[in-house]
Structures are given as C-alpha cells and as structure tokens.
Amino acid sequence: MLNKQDLLGVLDLMRKARGDLVLRTAHESPDLFRNFFEFENDFDMLNLAFEREFNLWIDKHFEMFDSHFNPSDSHSSITRFKRVMVELVENRVIRTSTTNDLASKDFCISLLSEKISILNNLIEISKKNEKQYQRLLYSYQKDKTLFDREFKKLMEE
C-alpha cells in the first residue's frame, strides 16, 4: 500500500514533468516547435516528431525520478512510479505480458533512450534529404537557365 508521503512524492514528480512540458509550450521552445513547423506538410515526419517529443517527455519523468528518489526509498513509491509510467506508455512503447507483470524501470529507460535516438536519426536523415533535394532543384534551375540563355543566343545569330 502506498503511504501518503510516497503518493505525494510520485504525484509531485508527475506535476513537475507536466510543468516542464507546459513551460516549453508556453515559451514556444524552439526545440519543441521547430520540427512541427518544418514537417507540417510531411505527415509521417510530423508523426515521428510528435513521437520523439512524447518519448522525451516520458524520459524526463525518469530523470526526475532518479534525481528525487533513491534505492533506499520506499519500495511502494518505486513500484507505483513504475506502474504509472507503464500506463503512460503501454500503447506506444511497451506491452504488459500475459501475466500482467510490469517491465522493469531499466528496461523502460533503455527502450525509451533507444527510441529517442532512432527518432532523432530519422529526423536528421529527413533534414539531409530535404537539403539534397533543394540542392538538386537549384542545380536544375541553374542548368535550365544557362541552357535557355545559350539557346536564345544561338537563335539570335
């Protein structure tokens, strides 16, 4: 059973993580909004950006938990925190087993870190592809303009 102090500790941690997201949103944090605007016309990349932000937000909970709680804290507060986190991410990241055992905190953290890394890599690849596409358009327009210019000169002669 979770005692009142443990419950308040877990709830306070959840409040702080939510507050961090609210502050980033209210202050229009560039690291939060940049990709949302950049990928507004690319639904798949926009979904990846949202997914990355969700995972960063979940990861923030674990960072805060690690800094506010230690292994000597009540086992019930650690267990409750893990359950809350699993409930937050079960539809996106992890599934409970058929026996409803919960995944360990370390597994959740490593899975989230790996997913964040992969999402960052995918977004960076997309940015590089966009830059290469823009460079290709530039080359095409430049060559077309030079060709038209030379063709016009030849036609005038």
pLDDT given for residue 146 in this prediction: 92
- Lowest-confidence range among 28-32, 72-76, 84-88, 128-132? 72-76
Domain range holding 23?
A: 4-128
Q: How far, in Å, CA of 129 to CA of 70, rounded?
A: 44
On whether residue 17 sits in a domain, the answer given is yes
Selection from 135, 136, 127, 115 nearest residue 57 by Cα: 115
Structure token pair of residue 29: 């944090």
On whether residue 68 sits in a domain, the answer given is yes
Q: How far, in Å, CA of 65 to CA of 54, rounded?
A: 17
pTM exceeds 0.75? no
On whether residue 27 sits in a domain, the answer given is yes
What mean pLDDT is predicted for residues 22-39? 89
Chain mean pLDDT for the chain: 78
Q: For 114-150, write each residue's pLDDT tens digit.
A: 777 776 777 778 778 888 888 999 999 999 999 999 9
- Number of domains the chain is built from: 1
What mean pLDDT is predicted for residues 49-64? 84
On whether residue 150 sits in a domain, the answer given is no
Structure token pair of residue 111: 């899975």
What mean pLDDT is predicted for residues 15-35? 89
Q: For 95-124, write each residue's pLDDT tens digit.
A: 444 444 444 555 566 677 777 777 677 777
